[in-house]
Amino acid sequence: MLSDMEIPYVISSLAEYERTLAHLSALDVRALAPGHGHPTCDPVEVRRRLRADSEYLAVLRAGVEAALHDRSTIGETVARLAGLIAPQPEMEGTHRLNVESAYIELGGPGNPLEVGWGRSFATMAD
């Protein structure tokens, strides 16, 4: 979490990730050592990363909710939200999995074992 190199990996639940970031935002974080990226003890940098991850998740949620409202398919939703991470093309696969997983979590039709992070993990188990 709070990497300066990667977007959030919304592996288990968009809602859980949002709650975790809200909880972290209420804390006085003095040191941050993300799993990937650079550690920091700069409170301004910690807040920047919190804000960036929170904004990404908010836009992801709003985009998927709008797509569901419009009755878009999962493929249409992925295409519609492809531009969210334009500055980070190396994160396109992660973003696609996030969109697919959020689509299912927010009520879109589909099997969570066949799309998003569920498919990713099912493939690894094979």
CB 12 within 8 A of CB 103: no
pTM metric for this prediction:
0.90
96 token code pair? 């696609």
Q: What is the mean pLDDT of the chain?
A: 92
Q: Which residues pair with 40 in a beta bridge?
A: 32
Residues 97-117, mean pLDDT to the nearest whole number: 93
Rounded-to-integer distance, Cα 18 and Cα 69, Å: 21
95 token code pair? 């973003």
Q: What confidence score (pLDDT) does residue 54 get?
A: 97
- The residues spanned by each domain of the chain are 14-121
pLDDT band for 87, please (50, 70, 90 cuts).
low
Length of the chain: 126
> Does pLDDT of 122 surpass 80?
no
Q: What confidence score (pLDDT) does residue 99 get?
A: 96
